[in-house]
A and B are shown apart, each in its own frame.
Chain A
Amino acid sequence: MTRKKSFSDRLADWLPRLVMAPSLLVILVGVYLFIAWTGWISLSSSRMVPQYDFVGLEQYYRLWATPRWHTAVANLFIFSALFLAVTIGVGLVMAILLDQNIRAEGALRAVYLYPMALSFIVTGTAWKWILNPDLGIQKVVNGLGWESFVFNWITQPKFAIYTIVIAAVWQSSGFAMAIFLAGLRGIDNSVIKAAQIEGATLPRIYASIIVPMLRPAFLSVTVLLSYIAIKNFDLVLAMTNGGPGNATEVPSTFMFSATFRRNQMGVGAASAMMMLMTVAAIIIPYLYSELKESRDGQ
């Protein structure tokens, strides 16, 4: 006697794919089709409304001929380099200090991390007030007797971008700390003991053994912070709104104002594609290696 597959069994075979299908469709449209769409607009003559013609790379030429875009790209580099270096440095130091059997470690960790729960708009609002030269930090230091102290970077075109770095580091270093701490906790204690028996001092052990072992954590932190740096938009808007003048323009604010404020949709789309390509160049190899590793690990 042979029993055939029933209809409900057949349906059951397909059910997982059916359940997954809407999500996949939504992602295909919302991410990949939309990217292609933006790509098309960047190759069209769109200004106020989308035009679906083809003008080649004209918008990209126009984009790279815009001084404001050059400012934005330069700012992104300055911001990213400083932001990454300082955040990683501060995060690593905090993680190492916290890893020394600290009482109240939980409370301290919570304090370092809470800025991450805030909106960049809130962070920006707070720091804008703190850095206000008339009433903020500068005033406090002046009041303490140091009359000549000047800290008015937020109003200086040359220095305003650094104030954004300060606020961004404050917000994100707890995040770096959390990942480094997780990495430190994953290191086998016997390594430290072995090095101690060989007579190495604690700073030495950290510098030559522990920190090199944190390589995966460094990679993760670098990639994720780069992503935060590139998409940074709210913080700039809240702190300086791209100013003074356009001194703190970054690609994300450039894209937004070109598209929604200055009727240069094509240029805006071109700048968005530039951002996307930068992110993809960093993220795709990272994801690929992460996925490959976890598959090899199985």
Chain B
Amino acid sequence: MASEYGSAARSRMIGRAFIYGSLVLLAALYLMPLWVMITTSLKSLDEIYGGSFIGLPQAVTFEAWGKAWSQACIGTACTGLKPYFINSLMMVVPAVLLSTGIGALNGYVLTKWRFRGANLVFGLILFGCFLPFQAVLLPMAQVLGKLGLSGTIPGLVLVHTVYGICFTTLFFRNYFVTIPDELTKAAQIDGAGFFRIFFSIMLPAALPIMVVSCIWQFTQIWNDFLFGVSFTAGESSPVTVALNNVVNVTMGRKQYNVDMAAAMIAALPTLVVYVVAGRYFVRGLTAGAVKG
């Protein structure tokens, strides 16, 4: 009996060790690219060409970061990523706020003030979440031109808001569906109107989903490349487009440390958001898959 018990315990131990071993190995694999990016960005170019890839830098230098930020050449302009980083900020902040605000109102109407055809409207909006944007690039370019917005940050804000509404509406609709309709009825009897109910009751109750929506939109819009490369050129590009240009410079000895520093700079805002509010980020990710 005792030995049997011991062998069961041992096989259990081996099982646990195997599970933990696999998990740690996977974690190492997933962290490797980030590790390589960071260490490479802190090495001197000579060290990199000398053959150091995976190891720690012999001498840590922030030179590459400085270059990526303020000197690297994007096309012919050697301004570094700084102006493009600012472009992205100017684009992302209004687009996130607008799309989240509109999505909140839409979700509120679609759940608490259902009208005839509300389901059809929701279906139409929902498909927009899965639109391959290639199908609208051409007309959008034409319309932005007509509006005088092509190649501008406000133009990108408009585009991101329009297509962002789809996801934010989905988020808020699925959230408000879980709030009992009786709440709206009670407020109506208390004399509150449409907007009063929205601002005094619904919005304060929707704080978690607002965070989800803002984080999701921020990540999506910051990371966008297709709209940026299609609708802007030169100085008005967002940081992702600028990063791609920096990396694809073909002249001279390739400055891998600057490339990696530039990639880190472009990645930092979303990484920081992820580290600070990862829980909400995951909820946004799974919202498309888990119905409300």
Contacts and interface: CB of A to CB of B under 8 A. Distances in A.
Interface of A: 12, 15-17, 19-20, 23-24, 26-28, 30-35, 37-38, 41, 50, 93-94, 97-98, 100, 102, 108-123, 125-130, 132, 135-137, 139-140, 143, 170, 174-175, 178-179, 182, 217, 220-221, 224, 227, 230-231, 233-234, 237-238, 241, 251-252, 255-256, 259-260, 265, 268-269, 271-273, 275-276, 279-280, 283-284, 287, 290-291, 293-295
Contact of B259 (A23, A129, A179, A252): A129
A80 to B, nearest CB: 13
Contact of A129 (B109, B163, B256): B256
B285 A135 contact: no
A88 B106 CA distance: 34
Contacts of A290: 291
Contacts of B222: 119
B223 A120 contact: yes
Given A23-B169, A130-B36, 7 more contacts: A110-B278, A125-B243, A130-B33, A140-B53, A238-B247, A251-B134, A259-B138
B121 interface: yes
Contacts of B36: 126, 129-130
Interface string B228-270: 0110000000001001100110000000100110110011001
Interface string B51-71: 101100000000000000000
A110 B33 CA distance: 15
Contacts of B127: 31, 280, 283-284, 287
A151 to B, nearest CB: 12
Contacts of B194: 12, 15-16, 19
Given A20-B109, A23-B169, A24-B124, A122 B138 contact: no
Nearest to B18: A97
Contacts, number: 267
Interface string B77-102: 00000000000000000000000001
- B127, B128, B230, B259 pick with most chain A CB within 10 angstroms: B127
A26 B102 CA distance: 11
Contact of A273 (B115, B135, B256, B281): B135
A52 B3 CA distance: 85
Contact of A287 (B23, B48, B126, B259): B126
8 contacts: A37-B138, A102-B19, A118-B270, A122-B243, A125-B262, A233-B134, A252-B134, A268-B138
Given A37-B138, A122-B243, A122-B263, A117 B282 contact: no
Contacts of A108: 23, 27
B132 A294 contact: no
A129 B52 CA distance: 13
Given A220-B290, A230-B132, A268-B138, A119 B223 contact: yes
Given A16-B194, A19-B109, A279 B139 contact: no
Nearest to A253: B134
Given A118-B223, A230-B132, A269 B138 contact: yes
Contacts of B131: 31, 35, 276, 279
A30 B136 contact: yes
A260 B227 CA distance: 13
Given A94-B26, A122-B243, A23 B165 contact: yes
A30 B140 contact: yes
Contacts of A26: 162, 165
Nearest to B165: A23
Contact of A27 (B49, B128, B248): B128
